[in-house]
Each structure stands twice: as structure tokens, then as C-alpha cells.
Amino acid sequence: MLSLAERTGDLRRYAYRLLRRLKASHRQSEVDTAELRRQRAIALRPVVRGLCGVVGSYYIVIFISHFFYEKGMDLPIMAGLGGVTAITCLSFFRWTRGAESVQRLEIATLIVSLLMYANVVVSQYLHFVPAKLIYFVLMTLVFATSAVSLRVVVPTSLLATGTMFVMAHHAGFPVLKQHIWVGVGGIVTALGMAGIMRSTIFRAVHARLVAEKHRHEAQILAHYDALTGLPNRRSFFTELDVALVGAKNGYAFDLALIDLDGFKPVNDLYGHSIGDALLIEVGKRLRAVVGSRGVVARLGGDEFALILNGQMPDDDLRRFGEDLCDTLRQTYVLGGGVCANISGSVGFVHSDPGAQWSASQMLERADYALYYAKQNLRGAPIIFDRRHENEMQDFGAVDQTLRSSDLESELYIVFQPQIDLKAQRTVSFEALARWQSEKLGPVRPDIFIRAAERSGLISDITLILLRKALVAVRDWPRDMRVSFNLSARDLRSLPAIARICDTVKASGVDPKRIEFEITETAMLSDFDQALEALALLKGMGSRIALDDFGSGYSSFGYIHRLPVDKIKIDRSFVTQLLRHDSTVKIVKTLIDLCGNLSLDHVIEGVETAAELCRLEEIGARYIQGYYFSQPMRAEAITAYLDAESWREGLKKAG
Ligand code: C2E
Ligand code: CA
Ligand code: CA
């Protein structure tokens, strides 16, 4: 099979040049001169062939007539000349069939004209008839209407008219006087007709070419993105359909979706022209990395897609994706001395072995992998695999059910305490969502939250959960705080954050008692937007905790830029705590760093006394985990707190 890149490569390069040219120049009606000459030749061809055919046929008749009218040596001379003219004309009739060169037509008309001229001159030379001098004028008119260019018309017409004058002069002044005005009139008419005819034909040819060029350009623009010159969404889908047909015939391929991280802030900060320049550069870099391996398309906004020929093994594909991400991460030097840094997330999917998937099913899977790449491992490409497939099926069912359920009654909150080891008591509870679905039974929160994030239902769900959590908090002691989880999508939308603030204000709970938990991925996908959202929450007096710290792309490098009050050290550290001394050192460093930055910390997922003991040794203060308590229903909290204060009292008494 011809590679996709080869098939579209030339066209794409042409489109790119075309788009640049269109932008740079307003002379859109300019047409290619070589093509113009070719088209002119094609338009004039029937005229020239008509001349050759008619003159050839005429001289066959003349050739025969010479046998009746000529005698002696005149017969072979005239018949020979007539015969040569007829044969030459008919040969040119053949020779110019399909001719696309003006030169070829010029040669034919020049030689035919000269042969006609020779016949008349020789005939007059052998037996001069003054009345036949008019033939020269007629010839001039024939030359003028049939010749291809003025460089044939002018010399042949002048030659014929000049010869007529010379012969008339030899015949005496009365004959010359008779022919002088006919000759002048003839040549003026001939040249005038030649000019008008040619300019009419050429104008028609030019107009047709311009129209064709515009049609062609419109066609190209319909398939290519005007900014980057890459195939657009429409031609991407065409390519994908072609690739899928190929896959059915055993030509597997890989599909990638690429989404830029951090493009929007650059666009907002520096304006659209810098944003455009950035996208153009991204397009160039993607093309450079992909090369002849496949097709790069821009689907819209900061979304790109690749169709890669052949199927790469997972490791190679992952390496390729990493190269791609590295390339996108290099600093962009844009106009006006602006330097920008962005990154890209990539999701891959292999075409399935039986090639049963449709284009939209392939895209859905690539998009799923992309979602993972964005959520879980920023910057690392993700290849859609069996695990994702199973998960997606589950998500599909969960998503459907979420939409059709009465979430107000099926969702509820459980609370898990966070203990201050120093004060030996619970200081806060994390609110954790639960869904007891009528159709599906209990659904794990990480599953339904992610499904809701994907489908956009999350903002509604967040509000339901927040209202329910705040109802419970109203019954707690006034110094008891609540931690509430926000999803990345909540932070990405200022209206969603505004609704959250309104809900808090309407609840009557002091916003200072609420701590919002956010994850790093939420911050990283659009840092500035997230900062704005956090400013709104902090503006109410609420606190911010950075959740799952250490599980992903954690970096203390940017923590000082975030308005966070607390770091939640991820459970994955606790599970390693007793196995590796290095983990103990890392957790100790994290705790110390939090102290230096005046941030609170909390260690999540502490399950055993041994873990707790180790953490106490290295200075941990706030702890959350099954060791102290599983998440509990709101109704159980009063009893839990009572028991705690009772224990506290016992300790103090002891
Ligand atoms: P998370 O925010 O990291 O929540 C902590 C999770 O760890 C909870 O799981 C909790 O039950 C579990 N956990 C607590 N202590 C221990 C322990 O000692 N051992 C172990 N193995 N696990 C422990 P859960 O409730 O299943 O929640 C899972 C995730 O779902 C949460 O992780 C959070 O990302 C998400 N989630 C839960 N509720 C909400 C919510 O209301 N909104 C949003 N946006 N996400 C939520
Ligand atoms: Ca949390
Ligand atoms: Ca967590």
C-alpha cells in the first residue's frame, strides 16, 4: 500500500506553500505562465489544424487541376509544389494532434503560410496574371486569422504584401496604383483581426484558468487548516477512513491524539498572534518528528492527531511518544522576543487486529488514553490497552446510569477523621463520596468520579456532595473542620467555582472551617486558571490542601507559587515506609520542607501501629488512615467524637 504520508505529503507541502502565498499576496488571480501558454496552445490548436486540413485538401485539388492547366516544365514544377504543400499540410494536421506547445503550432503555421506563399509566387512567376495579385491579400487574411502568434503573422503578412507590391510595380504603375490601397487595407485588416482574435481567445483562456485556480484553491482550503497548513479535521477523518480500510486488509496503523498543556495562558497573556505563531511552530515540530511515518492533522484549537503507518510495538511507540513530548516541551521563541514553554499530552491506540472498530471508536479510545495521559502521568504518553478497554466498558455503564439516576438520593457522604498526634485528637474530617446506585449497587468513588469528569456531570455532582457534606458539618463542634475534594474540572471552570462559593455561603457554615483538596494534575493542566479559582476559594477564607502529593509529577519547585495551606502526603509512601529506609528519608524531608514553608502536612493511608510509630519518629503530626478509622456515615460522627473525648479524658486522668 502506498504510505499515507507519501500520498498526502506532496499535496500537503503544496497546500502549505499555497496558504502562505495567499496570505502574503493579494494577487490571487495570477496564474502560472507555463500553464497559461499550454492552455493557449490548446485553445489555438483547432484553428491551426483547421488551416492545415483545409489548405491540405485545397492543394490536393490544385495538384490535380495542374494536370489539366499546366504544360511542359510548368507542370512538374507547379504539380510538385502543390503536391508537397498538400502532403506537408496533411502531415502537420497529424503532427499537431494533441499538441500542447505553442512553438509546434507556430512552426506548422509558418511553414504552411510559406508554402502557400511559394505556390502563388511561383505561379505568378511562370505566368503572371495581374488579377491574381489579389491572392496575396487573401493570403494575408488567412495568415492573420490562423497564425498562432504575431511573430508569425507580421513577417508572413509583410512578405506577402511586399511581394504583391514588387510584382505590381513590375507590371507597371497602373497595376501598382490599383493594388496599393488593397494591400495597405489588407495588411491593416489582417493585423487588426489577428490582434482581436488572439486577445479574445487568450482572455477566455486566462479567465478559465483563473476560475479553475480558484476552484482548486477553495478545494485545498476546505481540506487544510489555514493556520498551520496541516490537514484539517475533515481531511483527518477522510484519512482515518482510508487507514481503516487498509487495516481491514492487514495494514495495521496507530492513531494518536495530542493535546497541548499550557497553550491557553500563552494565548491569553500574549494575544492571538503569538498564540497563532505557537500553533504554527507546534505543527512544524510535529511534522518534523513524524516525518514520513504518517500524517499530522490539526483537529482544532490546541488539539492535534497523528495517523502512523504500520504498527509499532508498545515500547517503540512509547519512545516515539516521549520524543514527541520532549520536542513539544522545548522552549518556543516567538515573535517580539516572547519565549513560551508548553507541553503536550499524547494518547495512542493501535488499530484492532480484526479492524472492527469504526473511526469514532478508534478516536474514543485514543481520547481515553489521552485523558489518562493528562490525569495520571503528565507528560508521559499512554497507549490504550486491555485494562483501559475494560475500564471504558465499566465507565460506559456508569456514565449511562449516572445520567439516568436520582443522584440527589443515591449519593451520600462518608467522613474519615484526620488526627493531630500532638493534640491527640481529631481536628478534621475528609468528606468522601459514596454512590449506592439502584441499578449497579455500590460504585467505587474513583470510578464514578472519573466517569462524571469525563462526561462533564462532575460539577453537578460536586454541588450535591458539597451541600450534603455541609449539612453534616453544621452539627459538629465549631472547631472541627471538613476537607472536601474538588475535581480538576471544577477548577477549570470559574462559573463552577462561583457556584461552589455560593453553596458554601448559603449553608451557614463558616468557610474557614472548609478545606478544599485539589490534586496536582488539576493545577498543572491550566495553572493560571486554577490559580484564579483558588483565589476565589481563599477569598472566602477557606483553606487549600494539595492532595496525593508524591503520587505523580510532584515538585516542590512550584509549591511556593500555589496558595496551599496543607500538603497531603500520598498513601504510596506509607506502604513503602517499613520496607525502605529511603522512603522514610523522603517522608521526613517532605515533613521538614512543609515545616520550612509553614505548611501543614497530613499523612494519608496509615493502617498499622508500626507505620504510625515510624511516622511519629520522623516528626509526622497529622495522620489519616484506617488505623484510626474507616470513613464513617455522618450519623456515626457524634458517637465517634464522644468516644474520642472520653478516651482523651481517661488519658488526662491517667
Ligand atoms: P483520596 O482523596 O485520596 O481519598 C482517600 C482515599 O483513601 C479514600 O478512598 C479513602 O477511603 C482511602 N483511605 C483512607 N485511609 C486509608 C487506608 O488506611 N488504607 C487504604 N488502603 N485506603 C485508605 P475512597 O473513599 O475510595 O476515595 C477514592 C478517591 O475518590 C479519593 O481519593 C478521591 O480522589 C475520590 N473522591 C472521593 N470522594 C470524592 C469527592 O467527593 N469529590 C471528588 N472530586 N473526588 C472524590
Ligand atoms: Ca482527598
Ligand atoms: Ca489522597
**What is the reported pLDDT for 3?**
44
Of the listed ligands, the closest to the CA of 413 is: 1
Q: Is the CB of 607 under 6 A from ligand 1?
A: yes
**What is the reported pLDDT for 210?**
87
Say yes or no: domain 233-384 is CATH 3.30.70.270. yes
Long-range contacts, 312-315 (Cβ 8 Å, 24+) = 312/254, 314/383
**What is the reported pLDDT for 19?**
58
Annotate 589-649 with three-state secondary structure: HHHHHHHHCCCEEEECCCCCHHHHHHHHHCCCCEEECCCCCCCEEHHHHHHHHHHHHHHHH
Binned at pLDDT 50, 70 and 90, residue 26 comes out as very low
Of the listed ligands, the closest to the CA of 548 is: 3
- Interval between CA 117 and ligand 2 midpoint (Å): 102
The percent of residues in the chain predicted with pLDDT above 90, rounded, is 62
Q: Which three cell numbers stand for residue 371?
A: 485523558
What value does the mean pLDDT take over residues 165-172?
93
Specify the ligand 1 atom closest to the Cα of 626. 18
64-73, 116-125, 257-266, 412-421: segment of lowest average pLDDT: 257-266
Binned at pLDDT 50, 70 and 90, residue 525 comes out as low
Binned at pLDDT 50, 70 and 90, residue 28 comes out as very low
Check pLDDT > 50 for residue 27: no
**What is the reported pLDDT for 5?**
45
Which residue is closest in CA terms to ligand 1's atom 32?
446
Catalytic status, residue 302 = yes
Closest by CA to 432, choosing from 403, 451, 411, 452, is 411
Binned at pLDDT 50, 70 and 90, residue 150 comes out as confident
Pocket test for ligand 1, best of 485, 517, 632 (most atoms within 8 A of CB): 485
CB contact set of 378 (below 8 Å; sequence gap of 6+): 261, 343, 345, 521, 524, 552, 553
- Interval between CA 10 and ligand 3 midpoint (Å): 51
**What is the reported pLDDT for 527?**
77
**What is the reported pLDDT for 500?**
98
Q: Which residue has the higher pLDDT, 653 or 291?
A: 291
Q: Which residue has the higher pLDDT, 215 or 485?
A: 485
Amino acid at 477: P
Averaged confidence pLDDT in the chain = 89
What value does the mean pLDDT take over residues 244-257?
93
Check pLDDT > 60 for residue 216: yes
What tens digit of pLDDT does each residue of 426-460 get?
Answer: 999 999 999 999 998 899 998 899 889 888 899 99
Specify the ligand 1 atom closest to the Cα of 432. 38
**What is the reported pLDDT for 12?**
58
Amino acid at 543: R
- Alpha-carbon distance 82 to 479, whole Å? 122
Residue 482 in 3-state DSSP?
strand
Residue 69 in 3-state DSSP?
helix
Cα maximum dimension of the chain:
155
Check pLDDT > 90 for residue 382: yes
Pocket test for ligand 1, best of 414, 432, 516 (most atoms within 8 A of CB): 432
Binned at pLDDT 50, 70 and 90, residue 556 comes out as low
Binned at pLDDT 50, 70 and 90, residue 15 comes out as low
CB contact set of 451 (below 8 Å; sequence gap of 6+): 395, 398, 399, 402, 457
Strand 566-569 with 543-549, pairing: parallel
What value does the mean pLDDT take over residues 342-365?
90
Specify the ligand 1 atom closest to the Cα of 433. 38
Q: Is the CB of 466 under 6 A from ligand 1?
A: no
Whether residue 323 contacts residue 289, with contact meaning beta carbons closer than 8 Å, is answered with yes
Q: Which residue has the higher pLDDT, 414 or 148?
A: 414
What tens digit of pLDDT does each residue of 277-310 get?
Answer: 999 999 999 999 999 999 999 998 899 999 999 9
**What is the reported pLDDT for 653?**
66
Residue 520 phi, psi (nearest 5)? -65, -40
Q: Is the CB of 14 under 6 A from ligand 1?
A: no
Quote the distance between the C-alpha of residue 425 and its chain's center: 56
Quote the distance between the C-alpha of residue 612 and its chain's center: 53
Which residue is closest in CA terms to ligand 1's atom 15?
625
- Interval between CA 395 and ligand 1 midpoint (Å): 18
What value does the mean pLDDT take over residues 505-512?
96
Q: Which residue has the higher pLDDT, 267 or 370?
A: 370
**What is the reported pLDDT for 528?**
80
**What is the reported pLDDT for 25?**
46
- Interval between CA 75 and ligand 2 midpoint (Å): 115
Of the listed ligands, the closest to the CA of 515 is: 2
**What is the reported pLDDT for 554?**
56
56-65, 236-245, 386-395: segment of lowest average pLDDT: 386-395
Binned at pLDDT 50, 70 and 90, residue 155 comes out as very high
Q: Residue 16's CB: how many other CB atoms inside 10 A?
A: 18
**What is the reported pLDDT for 4?**
44
Q: How far is CA 375 from CA 105, 366, 381, 386, 454, in A?
A: 70, 14, 11, 18, 11
In terms of Cβ atoms closer than 10 Å to its own Cβ (0-12, 13-18, 19+), residue 649 is: exposed
Of the listed ligands, the closest to the CA of 483 is: 2
- Interval between CA 419 and ligand 3 midpoint (Å): 15
The percent of residues in the chain predicted with pLDDT above 70, rounded, is 92
Q: Which residue has the higher pLDDT, 607 or 30?
A: 607
Q: Which three cell numbers stand for residue 125?
A: 512567376
What value does the mean pLDDT take over residues 378-387?
86
Of the listed ligands, the closest to the CA of 428 is: 2
- Interval between CA 529 and ligand 1 midpoint (Å): 25
What tens digit of pLDDT does each residue of 122-138 get?
Answer: 999 998 999 999 999 99
Of the listed ligands, the closest to the CA of 517 is: 2
What tens digit of pLDDT does each residue of 638-652 get?
Answer: 999 999 888 777 676
Annotate 114-177 with three-state secondary structure: HHHHHHHHHHHHHCCCHHHHHHHHHHHHHHHHHCCCHHHHHHHHHHHHHHHHHHHHHHCHHHHH
Specify the ligand 1 atom closest to the Cα of 570. 3
Going 532 to 534 to 537 to 539, the CA torsion angle's sign is negative
Q: Which residue blocks in 349-430 are alpha helix, DSSP H?
A: 359-375, 386-404, 407-410
Q: Is the CB of 490 under 6 A from ligand 1?
A: no
Check pLDDT > 80 for residue 22: no
Which residues does residue 482 pair with via DSSP β-bridges, in sequence order? 429, 514
Check pLDDT > 70 for residue 7: no
Question: Where in the chain are the domains?
Answer: 33-210, 233-384, 406-571+600-605+634-642
- Interval between CA 507 and ligand 3 midpoint (Å): 25
Q: Is the CB of 634 under 6 A from ligand 1?
A: no
Which residue is closest in CA terms to ligand 1's atom 22?
605
Q: Is the CB of 487 under 6 A from ligand 1?
A: yes
Specify the ligand 1 atom closest to the Cα of 434. 38
Which residue is closest in CA terms to ligand 1's atom 21?
605
Specify the ligand 1 atom closest to the Cα of 487. 44
Amino acid at 319: R
What tens digit of pLDDT does each residue of 78-95 get?
Answer: 999 999 999 999 999 999
**What is the reported pLDDT for 555?**
61
Q: Is the CB of 600 under 6 A from ligand 1?
A: no
Q: Is the CB of 303 under 6 A from ligand 1?
A: no
288-292, 356-360, 611-615: segment of lowest average pLDDT: 356-360
Closest by CA to 382, choosing from 330, 324, 328, 307, is 324
Closest by CA to 568, choosing from 553, 546, 592, is 546
- Interval between CA 588 and ligand 2 midpoint (Å): 21
Whether residue 187 contacts residue 156, with contact meaning beta carbons closer than 8 Å, is answered with no
* Start-to-end Cα distance in the chain: 84
Q: Which residue is it, cell 493560571?
A: 528
- Interval between CA 418 and ligand 1 midpoint (Å): 13
Residue 421 phi, psi (nearest 5)? -65, -30
CB contact set of 593 (below 8 Å; sequence gap of 6+): 556
Check pLDDT > 50 for residue 51: yes
Check pLDDT > 80 for residue 220: no
**Catalytic, out of 254, 302, 526, 548:** 302
Binned at pLDDT 50, 70 and 90, residue 552 comes out as low
Q: Is the CB of 465 under 6 A from ligand 1?
A: yes
Which residue is closest in CA terms to ligand 1's atom 16?
605
Which CATH superfamily does the domain covering 406-571+600-605+634-642 fall into? Answer: EAL domain (3.20.20.450)
What tens digit of pLDDT does each residue of 101-117 get?
Answer: 999 999 999 999 999 99
Binned at pLDDT 50, 70 and 90, residue 559 comes out as confident
50-59, 167-176, 248-257, 576-585: segment of lowest average pLDDT: 576-585
Specify the ligand 1 atom closest to the Cα of 604. 15
Q: Is the CB of 485 under 6 A from ligand 1?
A: yes
In terms of Cβ atoms closer than 10 Å to its own Cβ (0-12, 13-18, 19+), residue 266 is: buried
Q: Is the CB of 449 under 6 A from ligand 1?
A: yes
Specify the ligand 1 atom closest to the Cα of 446. 30
